[in-house]
Amino acid sequence: MRIDILTLFPEIVEAPLRASLLGKAREKGLLDVRVTNIRDFAHDRHRTTDDAPFGGGAGMVMKCEPIFEAVESLRDENRLDRIVLMSPRGRRLDQALVQELAEAGDLAVICGRYEGVDERVSQGLCTDEISIGDYVLSGGELPALVLVEALSRMNPGVVGKWESVETDSFYSGLLGFPQYTRPREYRGMAAPDVLLEGNHALIERWRRKEALRITKQRRPDLLNNLQEDDRKLLAELVREESESNRENTSERVG
């Protein structure tokens, strides 16, 4: 998979792409991420890529011509299966969309700026608009990096062990289970005994049950399509919570 990021500010994305897992994956040839400066496709001596909005209003709008030409230049060497505009009005990024894009092929990601991008980019060029959340940022560069980071984890070899990906929050449809490491006890807080007893079947059951518990507490909307085993674990969890609540109520009354 190749990902091309198109931006007015390459310096914002280039440093993170050289660091940590992304940098190592690029060095090893496991991940092909390239950065294109949209200003290189402006035709005046000032490299103008924005202009005042038709109809008036505050701020500036990114011009469509440099963006179209930047994408077309990439098509000469890359098939570009999907062309994404990072946009607050786009489809919310989630793990299902990440997996969809990871399977789709090569990708171009356009980073908006200022008051937005000329609508003709969305109408005549993009296949997707994607948002990373309901809040305001100065541009699409950081959202583009979020997308690249998420996609990179779907590429075998980028993360050392594929098991690390499979246990990520949302990959399996649930939030992640709690993790512990040394020391066994710290400031009166101890790691659960089950994790230290070497029974891998019990450990896996505990982890799945804890993932269900945390998801139930924080994102119950994710529990709508559980498999039969998870439904049984969830029912067991609900019974235990109900019994615990009754015991606590009884203690307070007593």
> Residues in the chain, how many?
254
Written as six digits, the tokens of 36 are: 């294109």
Q: Given 115, 205, 207, 208, which residue is catalytic?
A: 115
Contact yes or no for 120/66 (Cβ under 8 A)? no
C-alpha span between 39 and 200 (Å, rounded): 55
Q: Given 81, 168, 207, 208, which residue is catalytic?
A: 168
Contact yes or no for 93/131 (Cβ under 8 A)? yes
Q: Given 4, 66, 153, 230, which residue is catalytic?
A: 153
Does 197 qualify as catalytic in the annotation? no
Contact yes or no for 39/8 (Cβ under 8 A)? yes
Peptide bond into 183 cis (omega under 30): yes
Give the residue among 137, 172, 165, 169 at the shortest CA–CA distance from 151.
Answer: 165
Contact yes or no for 241/216 (Cβ under 8 A)? no
Does 75 qualify as catalytic in the annotation? no
Q: Given 88, 106, 149, 205, which residue is catalytic?
A: 88
DSSP 61-95: EE-HHHHHHHHHHHHTT---SEEEEEEEEEEEP-H
Contact yes or no for 6/71 (Cβ under 8 A)? yes
Catalytic residues: 88, 115, 153, 168
